[in-house]
Structure 1
Amino acid sequence: MKYIVLSATLLLGSTAFAGGGSAMPAGNTIAGIVSSDPNFSTLLAAVKAAGLVETLSSPGPFTVFAPTNAAFAKIPKADLDALLNDPAKLKAVLLYHVVAGRVTAAQVMGMSSGKTVNGASVRVSTMGNSVMINDATVTKADVRASNGIIHVIDTVMMP
């Protein structure tokens, strides 16, 4: 069983998860890509609410399993509103979608699990060319950013 190992400095960095600011940077960072794609507007709002803008703009590298607006729409509105209004819980959920390092789709397909930045592991399974992370299907892989890789998923994963 292969695992992706987290860097302790990522979790313990002085401002890595303090976040802050409400402006999303433009450019080819993960944050910039999310901010420029209308399919990620709910993810963008969540990243801002959790104070993770600076983290996703930092050098990384990170691999982000990014849920689309349609993925967030699967969550009942009251539950989503409650999550968006609880920064600590929201941060835990969002960090469950992030893995330290640059992990390509080819590498993901060779794994059975991976450890996320929030400390919990996700299951990885493949069927043909389809890749599942827990119950989420990767719908677009290897969106390259200057500070990592984005894999688009169709379901918000809960730790």
Structure 2
Amino acid sequence: MKRRTLITSATASGLLLTLGACASAPKGNDIVDIAAGNPDFSTLVAAVQAAGLVDTLKGDGPFTVFAPTNAAFDALPAGTVETLLMPENVDQLRSILTYHVLPGSYVAGDVLGQVVDVATVNGATVRVDGTGGKYGAAVRVNDANVISADIMASNGVIHVIDKVLIP
């Protein structure tokens, strides 16, 4: 009986991820527009602006963005965000932010059941683990958990993560 429930739960989770992937954002709701419209991404948006990446992330793409929340930035050591936002640290900030971006559009269903190393825009790779968690479908990127997947934008997809990825 427990096995049947687990299989049903996993199937339902996969179906929900697939349905979420099919939803498309209205034209003009690009990655930056969506992030800027969500107060949980205000630190990310400020960092993208400081790094001069707004025009890039508003471009045609497609892109996959692993978007850390404000809480993820707050968990960094004290003063880290402020230091990264200084003009003299723009190259380091740009490197960190582009480590959160994949060329191409990938939904969670693309990685479920597998572990893959994927090249980021900054040239390094991230490990995407879609083998699941204790309670069903789950995706991790390096040591960050995807807490909300498949937010569709006109130029790609956003996956919300609970940690800032450091290359």
Q: What TM-score, normalized by structure 2, do the two folds share? A: 0.77
Q: For residue 124 of structure 2, what is the amino acid of its counterpart?
A: A
3-state SS in 2 of match to 1:47:
helix
Structure-2 residue corresponding to 1:3: none
2:150 maps to what in 1?
142
Give the SS at the match of 1:137: strand
Structure 1 segments (4+ residues) deviating >4 Å: none
Aligned to 2:33: 32
Q: Which residue of 2 is the match for residue 108 of structure 1?
A: 111
2:49 aligned residue:
48
Partner of 2:121 in structure 1?
117
Gapped regions of structure 1 (runs ≥ 5):
1-26
Q: Secondary structure at the match of 2:147?
A: strand
Which structure 2 residues correspond to residues 38-117 of structure 1 after superposition, within 5 A? 38-85=39-86, 86-109=89-112, 110-117=114-121
Q: Report SS of the residue matched to 1:112.
A: strand
1:130: Cα distance to partner?
1.5
RMSD (Å) for aligned C-alpha atoms: 1.4
What's the offset of the Cα at 1:158? Answer: 0.1
Alpha-carbon deviations, 1:15-41, whole Å to 9, x = none?
xxxxxxxxxxxx410010011000000
Q: Distance in 1 between matches of 2:111 and 2:41?
A: 22
**Mind listing any 5+ residue stretches in structure 2 that lack a counterpart?**
1-27
Aligned to 1:15: none
Distance 1:44 1:141 in 2: 19
Q: Distance in 1 between matches of 2:29 and 2:36?
A: 10
Which residue number in structure 2 is paired with residue 152 of structure 1? 160
Structure 2 CA distance for aligned equivalents of residues 84 and 156 of structure 1: 15
Determine what percentage of the aligned residue pairs are the same residue.
Answer: 53
TM-score (norm 1): 0.81
Greater gyration radius: 2
Counterpart CA distance in 2 for 1:105 and 1:97 is 15
CA–CA distance in 2 between the matches of 1:130 and 1:83?
Answer: 30
- Give the corresponding residue for 1:6: none
Measure how far apart 1:123 and its partner are. 1.0
User: By how many angstroms is 1:111 displaced?
Assistant: 4.0
Partners of 2:150 and 2:124 lie apart in 1 by 23
Post-superposition CA distance 1:93-150 (Å, at most 9, x none): 0000000001111113334211100000001223231111001000000000000000
SS across alignment from 2:79: helix
